[in-house]
Chain A
């Protein structure tokens, strides 16, 4: 037999991907200076913050936390957080998961898995969610699924658009089938929000893969992607293992998805808020006005 089928290969190897990325330090550490992982130039933290965590020399988009994401997107002082008490639990009693959750909560970004709420963006009231890359690789378990679902339900009820920032290694395997079901649950909530004639803009950031790509990330009315972001269903390593060959450069990057017709625009973080504002302004009032 040639091959037993791909069920044997890891579906979700972004854990590895993020770990590899972490070595050159694409997220912003606490030190005064940081080296850009692509052009290797030394950057001052303060200057980096000024430029929305985009390298001024080569345009590399540093991975940023959910809180920082909201900070650079929401009008100052307008963010009101929703459903702060929904946090992951070890529902299947999966060995080692409690420790992983504890460890994740001790990190810089604390207990955030996805931050949800309302805010104004360029003066336009919107619901917003931002996934947290540092919490177990931005994986989606029942807590993330429930928060996203509640946000879309809240947005439908209050007739608000949704702006969502995705970053995810895929499903949270320690929650087994229950995490897979979050793809269906969130898709249902996105659909109801959409049927109410309301706008949903997704901003796909590096990396967005697995179950999140195969659900709410790809279900937006308008899909933006940050430059160079890895976006796909299967992670690159899984594909390489399956097809036993190297992937061409740029494969599954945002620019590749634009070319293939799966995203509307590449959105540089420095001009992103302006673009979001224009989109919200254009659709103000939803589909019925």
Chain B
């Protein structure tokens, strides 16, 4: 598949969403709602569960299936309260020393009046800063669309993984094409030039692993579960300081190739 085909695959109706992964990957999942500041954003699912025998915090951006649920989930575009809901769970994870697993699937943080009034930029910025210092392991998996800052706010992690056909981009290829060439029809060119595929991002060391999808959803989840357990077990060997410092260095290196 070329970049544009992957973009379509990542957005395709019927593609498994965060909820589907949560059901497969975790046992004893207990959903926990609300940001304790403004409300409960249904575009973001947060809770606790066990991965094998490891207690973890789970955060997922949920697009929903079917028109009714998609509308209720705001098509997976979170408001500031969604990012603050995620942050509240990250802080609880830190308190109880459990790892955080993020499942990212969003076309982007919501652009609207309420989102701006309640500080969309500030909410994302705060998550970036908090994740940079969070003293528990964080693994983020891009399962579908990784839309700009709205995705990054849940993807500052020790390990960032992508599903084989997921995409991750600074701007939507449509947006890029209409700004650069005033021609949204050149979306295919933009998708290619922006380098949004898992394969591109792995080669640039922006992500750490590609999760195969061709084997079917059940097998993908089984594979993912084994990899997650292995990764979390490995991270036990690190002190909190080492963990945070390695996370900093991982992002510090990106685009730092200057004299």
Q: Which residues of A contact B (CB under 8 A)?
A: 1-13, 15-16, 83, 85-86, 91-92, 94-96, 141-143, 145-146, 149, 171, 173, 175-185, 187-192, 194-195, 209-211, 213-219, 231-234, 238-239, 242-243, 247, 251-252, 260-262
Contact A5 B148 (CB under 8 A): no
Chain A nearest CB from B160 CB (Å) reads: 10
Query: In the complex the two chains form, is B111's CB within 8 Å of A146's CB?
Result: no
The interface on chain B, measured as residues whose beta carbon lies within 8 A of the other chain's beta carbons, has a size of: 67
Whether B171 pairs with A178 at a CB distance below 8 angstroms is no
Contact B113 A191 (CB under 8 A): no
Q: Do B179 and A190 have beta carbons less than 8 Å apart? A: no
Q: Given A173-B194, A178-B255, A184-B152, decide whether A242 and B111 contact each other with a Cβ distance below 8 A.
A: yes
Contact of B128 among A15, A175, A215 (CB under 8 A): A215
Please state if B174 and A143 are interface contacts (CB–CB under 8 Å). no
- What CA separation (Å) do A247 and B111 show in the bound complex? 12
Residue B35 interfacial (CB < 8 Å): no
Q: List 17 A-B contacts (CB under 8 A).
A: A2-B71, A10-B178, A83-B258, A180-B170, A181-B152, A183-B149, A190-B129, A210-B149, A211-B149, A214-B122, A215-B149, A231-B121, A233-B115, A234-B115, A242-B110, A243-B112, A251-B116
B109 shortest CB reach to chain A, Å: 7
Question: Does B49 interact with chain A (Cβ within 8 Å)?
Answer: no
In B60-119, the 8 Å CB interface with A consists of 63, 67, 70-71, 75-77, 106-113, 115-119
| Dominant secondary structure of chain A at its interface with chain B | helix
Q: Which residues of B contact A16 (CB under 8 A)?
A: 179
Which residues from B are CB-within-8-Å of A243? 111-113
- How far is B194's CA from A187's CA once the two chains are assembled, in angstroms? 23
Given A94-B193, A142-B255, A177-B168: A216 in contact with B145 (beta carbons within 8 A):
no
Interface 9-residue window, one of B17-25, B230-238, B246-254: B246-254
Question: Are the CB atoms of A5 and B76 closer together than 8 Å?
Answer: yes
Other CB < 8 Å A-B pairs besides A10-B171, A142-B258, 10 of them? A6-B111, A7-B175, A8-B172, A94-B193, A95-B193, A173-B180, A177-B195, A187-B132, A232-B120, A242-B111
On whether the beta carbons of A171 and B148 are closer than 8 Å, the reply is: yes
The reply to whether A179 and B170 contact each other, CB–CB distance below 8 Å, is yes
Q: Is the CB of B179 within 8 A of A233?
A: no
Sorted from nearest, which 7 A-B pairs have the closest CB atoms?
A7-B107, A142-B255, A213-B121, A10-B175, A234-B111, A187-B128, A233-B121
A contact residues around B248 at 8 Å (CB): 188, 192
Is B47 an interface position by the 8 A CB rule? no
Which residues of chain B are within 8 angstroms of A96 by Cβ–Cβ distance? 180
Check A191–B148 contact: CB distance below 8 A. no
Beta-carbon contact of A11 and B116 below 8 Å:
no
* A183–B152 touching, CB < 8 Å: yes
Point out the residues of chain A lying under 8 angstroms from B2, CB to CB.
none
The answer to whether A92 and B193 touch (CB under 8 A), given A184-B251, A233-B109, is yes
Residue in A closest to B184 when the chains form the complex, CB atoms: A8
Query: Which one, A10, A181, A262, contacts B254 given CB within 8 A?
Result: A181
Contacts of A209 in B (CB 8 A): 121
Q: Distance in Å from the Cβ of A25 to the closest Cβ of chain B? A: 23
Given A6-B110, A180-B152, A239-B111, verify A173-B258 contact (CB < 8 Å). no
Against A, the Cβ 8 Å flags (1 = close, 0 = not) of B190-222 are 000111100001001010000000000000000
Q: Which residues of the other chain, B, contact A83 by a CB distance below 8 angstroms?
A: 258
Contact call A10/B113, Cβ cutoff below 8 A? no
- Let me know if B55 is at the binding interface, CB within 8 A: no
Docked complex Cα distance between A192 and B248 (Å): 9
In the complex, what residues of B have CB within 8 A of residue A247's CB?
Answer: 113
Query: Which residues of the other chain, A, contact B228 by a CB distance below 8 angstroms?
Result: none
CA A210 to CA B106, docked complex, whole Å: 17
Closest to B80 in A: A233
Q: Do the beta carbons of B149 and A180 come within 8 Å of each other?
A: yes
A177-B116 contact, Cβ under 8 Å, with A86-B258, A188-B132, A213-B121: no
Residue of B nearest to A248 (CB): B113
A12 partner residues in chain B, CB cutoff 8 A: 171, 175, 179
Contact B67 A1 (CB under 8 A): yes
- Given A242-B112, A260-B118: A178 and B204 interface contact (C-beta under 8 Å): yes
In the complex, what distance in Å separates the CA atom of A210 from the CA atom of B152?
Answer: 13
Chain B 122-147 per-residue mask, 1 if CB under 8 angstroms from chain A, else 0: 10111011001100000000000101
Given A8-B107, A183-B128, A214:B112 Cβ within 8 A: no
Interface assignment of B169: CB less than 8 Å from any CB of chain A = yes
Considering the chains assembled together, what is the distance between the CA atoms of A93 and B196 in angstroms? 14
Q: Are B252 and A185 in contact (CB under 8 A)?
A: yes
CB-based contact A145/B179 at 8 Å: no
- Report the Cα distance A142→B253, complex, angstroms: 11
- Interface-central residue, A179, A188, A209, A247, by most chain B CB under 10 Å: A188
Question: Is the beta-carbon distance between B120 and A234 smaller than 8 angstroms?
Answer: yes
Which residues of B are found within 8 Å of A85, using beta-carbon distances? 258-259
Q: By the criterion CB–CB under 8 Å, are A9 and B175 in contact?
A: yes
